[in-house]
Amino acid sequence: MGEEMDGNSILAEALKLQGVEYVFGIVGIPVIELSMAMQAVGMHYVGCRNEQAACYAAQAMGYLTGKPAVCLVVSGPGLLHVFGGMANAQINCWPLIVIGGSCPQDHEGIGGFQECNQVELSRPYCKYAARPPHPKLIPTHVEKAFRLATYGRPGVSYLDFPGNMLSMSVPSGDIYLASKVPAPPLAYPDPIQVKEVVSVLGQSKRPLVIIGKGAAYGKAELALRDLISSCNLPFLPTPMGKGVVSDTDEHCVAPARSAALQKADCILLFGARLNWILHFGRPPRFNPNVKIVQVDLCPEEFHNSRISTVALQGDIQATCTLIVKELTSQGWHIPSSSPWWNLLKEKVQNNKMTVGKMIADIRPPLNYYAVFQHIQDIIPIDSIICSEGANTMDIGRTLLANILPRHRLDAGTFGTMGVGLGFAVASALWCQRYSPQKRVICVEGDSAFGFSGMEVETMFRYKLPVVIIVINNNGIYGGFDQDTYNAIRDGADPTQVTPPTALTVKVRYDNIMTLFGRRGYFCSTIPEVQDAVKECLKIVDGPSVINIAINPAADRKPQPFNWLTESKL
C-alpha cells in the first residue's frame, strides 16, 4: 500500500507546494497538530493573541508580498472572530487563505463541540469557500483556493477541515496531486482605448492623476513615476496609494486636494475606486463635467457612481506604460507655467502656511500637527507606517510621508479599526526577511490601540522591533481633560453621564512594556516626544511603546467640506 499520510501532513505539503510561507493564527482543537505539520515542512508560524489580529497580519503579508499567507483558526468562535478580517481583505482586494478546523463530521447535527455551519457562513466574505470531501482531495482544493485568491481581483479563500479529516490517514499513492499555480496572467488593455485616453487628455487643460492602492499592489510605481514626470502631471494619492510616487515629489498636490478634485476637467484613476474615499466622484467635490479615465484590473469597478469616459481593463503597470509611450511620442505635457499649475501651487502654499502655524504651536497640551511633524523629522524616511484611528490616521497621513510604495497600511476601504498591530506584525516580519534595516512605525489612536493592544506580546515573543506610538486624546474622536472628566462623574452614575466617545483620562498605555521588564515612554511635550522616538529607534530586539498625551479637543484644520460625503436621502 505504500507510505500513508494524514490530513495534517497532506494539507501542510499542499500549502508549501503553492509557495505559502507564513501562517498566523491561534491554535486549539482540532488544528494543533496541523500547525506543527506546517512548521515541519518549513512554513513560519506566528501565534497571535486574537484571531482578528492574526487575520489582519496574514492579509497584510499578502499585500506586501503579492501571495497569500494563511490565517489558521479553530472551529466555531475561532472562525467567527475572523469574519471582520476576511471582509477587510476581500474589500481591500488583498490575497488571503483562511483555514478553519471544524467539528468532526460524525458529530455534526447532534451538538458537536463548537459545531458551526462554517463554509456557508464564510461565503459572503470570500471568493471561494469549500470543505474537501476527502483527505486525498486536499491538494486540489488548496490549489483552487490559492489560484482564486490571487487571480483577477485578489481576495479571500476559505477551506474547512473537520477534525476527523485532519487525523485520517490515506496511502500516499491515492492522493490527487495538484500543480503549483502559475503567476497570474498579465492583462493588457485594448490599444484603441489607449489612443482614446490620449485623445481625452489632449483636450484637457486641468488634468489630475489619482493613484490608488491597486496601483501599489500591482507594483506600477515605475510606470506611474514616468507618466507623472514626463507629462508634468499633478497627482493625488489615496491613503494606501501613498509612495507609489513619492509624497515629496513636486507633482504631489495632496495639500491642494479639495481644489484639485473640484477644478480638474480630466481625472485618470489608476487602481482607485470612486467610493466614499473619493466622495463617489460626484459634485460638489468634483466638477460635474469632469471626464474620468479609469484603469483597473477588475471591470466590475468601472462606471461605479458615475460613467467613465474611458474605462481600460488591464494590468496597471502595463497599461500605464502604453499610455506613457503614446503621450511622449506626441510630446504632450502640461506646462509648469499653466494656469492649472499656478492655481494648484497657490493652494498648496496656502495650505502649508495654515498647517505650519499649527505645527509651530508646541504648547502643551499638544495638537496633532505639532506631534506628527516632530515624529516625521526623526523617523527614517523609508519607514513602513501602519496607522489607524480617526484624526490620528487622517491627519497623520498628511504629515507622515511615504517615499516608497506599499509602505503605508491603514484602516483601508472598509474603515476597519483594530488592524494596526496585526499589520505591524506582518510588516516587521517582512522587513526581517527582505529589508532588515527598515523600521516599522505603528501610529495608533488610543481607542484603536485598545482593539489589539496585547499583540505587543506577540511582537515581543518574535523579537519584532515595532515602534508603537499611541496618540492619546482620552477618547474616540476626543475626550475630556482631567478636571472636566472628574466633575461630570462625581456622585453620578458613570453609565449615565460619561459620553459614549470618552475614555479614561491619560491611560498609561506605555506601562504595558513593564509586563516584559522594559520601559515605555509617556510624553506631553515635544522634547519628550523627540527623545522617546530617538530612544525607541535604537531598540532592535522587540517592540517599544510611546504614549503621547495631546489636547482632548485637538482636531484637524478647518475643512471646506465635511470629510465624509453625506447622503441627501
> Alpha helices of 253-315 — where are they, by DSSP H?
257-263
**Helix axis angle, 368-376 to 339-360, nearest 10°:** 100
Q: Are strands 521-523 and 207-211 parallel, antiparallel or unpaired?
A: unpaired
Q: Is 361-549 a CATH 3.60.21.10 domain?
A: no
Separation CA 416–CA 203 (nearest Å): 40
Give the whole-angstrom CA distance, residue 538 versus residue 378: 12
What fold does the segment set 191-346 form as a domain?
Answer: Rossmann fold (3.40.50)
pLDDT recorded at residue 246: 98
CATH assignment, 4-174: 3.40.50.970
Q: Domain map of the chain by residue range? A: 4-174, 191-346, 361-549
At 333 the three-state DSSP class reads: coil
User: pLDDT digits over 489-518, tens only?
Assistant: 676 788 888 889 999 998 999 999 999 999
Q: How far apart are CA 314 and CA 282, in angstroms?
A: 25
For the chain, give the longest Cα–Cα distance.
80
Residues 6 or more apart whose CB falls under 8 angstroms from that of 181 comprise 18, 143, 146, 147, 150
Interval 241-255: pLDDT, tens: 999 999 999 999 999
Query: How many CA atoms are closer than 13 Å to the CA of 164, on its beta-carbon side?
Result: 10
Q: What is the DSSP string of 486-500?
A: HHHHTTS-HHHHS-T
CA atoms of 376 and 364, how far apart (whole Å): 19
**Cβ–Cβ < 8 Å for 543, 468:** yes
Taking residue 282's Cβ as centre, other Cβ atoms within 10 Å add up to 13
pLDDT of residue 480: 85
Residue 122: predicted pLDDT: 98
Low-confidence ranges of the chain (pLDDT < 70): 1-2, 489, 491, 561, 563, 566-569
Give the model confidence (pLDDT) of 408-421 as tens digits: 999 999 999 999 99
b/e per residue 360-394 (b: at least 16 CB within 10 A) = eebeeebbbbbbbbbbbeebeeebbbbbbbbbbbb
pLDDT at 363: 97
Q: Which residues are registered as beta bridge partners of 385?
A: 408, 441
Domains 191-346 and 361-549 share a fold: yes
Q: What is the pLDDT of residue 567?
A: 60
